[in-house]
Amino acid sequence: MLFPRLHIVTDSLDVVRGAVGHGPVAIQVRVKSCDREAYQLTVAALALCRSAGDALCLVDDRVGVALAAGADGVHVGADDLPVAAARGVLGPAAILGATCRNPVSARQAVADGADYLGVGPVFATTTKDGLPPPIGPAGLAAVVDAVPGTPVLAIAGITPARVADLPGYGVAAISAVIADPAGATADFQRALSTRGDTD
């Protein structure tokens, strides 16, 4: 399967149901409560991804949950296990993503074993607290240039209408798909497939 250019980050099975079936997608299960809830949601999301056939199931932050549930991989941020430590626990086959904000941290994450990068905040968002100022498409482009061959996904404030103007491999979204998961996902897939390759 082509590594998905669209990553939907969610704690909702309704969103997962709407997001699969419109083309390659990665579901990133992001649960802020506890491991038990994250595990249960991951098992259910993974089943939906497997039925779709072209969907990956990744887990935000929680390496143990990803391993226990048999998910395809993990996405780690600044407060989670370091990339090298996560890679050590996961082994070589799992997909490992890392959040980065600039070229230096991006190069380091790739050297430490990240397969792809989530880069942002590209735009302002109210979805996550405590973020640094947005880096904009130009900041994103600097990271894309720093890690040739590594898929870079834009995150924060991403909507289908913004996809055409973003450099990099793809995008990750939370709030843009909540109101209408299937419709918004289809819009994202259309926007991604009609833009030129920008990575």
The answer to the question of residue 97 lying near Mg ion (CB under 5 A) is no
Question: Which residue, 91 or 164, has its beta carbon nearer to ligand TZP?
Answer: 164
Q: Give the x/- contact pattern for ligand TZP in 80-119, rule: CB under 6 A.
A: ----------------------------------------
Length of the chain: 199
Helix (H, G, I), strand (E, B) or coil at 13: helix
Structural contact between residues 93 and 75, judged by C-beta atoms closer than 8 angstroms: no
Q: Tell me: does residue 187 bind Mg ion (CB under 5 A).
A: no
Assign residue 145 a region: left if phi > 0, alpha if psi is -120 to 50, beta otherwise? alpha
90, 93, 94, 99 alpha-carbon torsion, rounded to 10°: 90
Among 10-18, 43-51, 153-161, 183-191, the segment contacting ligand TZP (CB under 6 A): 153-161
Asked if 10 and 19 touch (Cβ cutoff 8 Å), the reply is: yes
The amino acid at residue 1 is M
Q: Binding of Mg ion at residue 61 (CB under 5 A)?
A: yes
Choose which of 13, 21, 64, 77 interacts with Mg ion (CB under 5 A).
Answer: 77
Residues that bind ligand TZP (CB under 6 A): 9, 120-121, 125, 127-128, 131, 155-158, 173-176
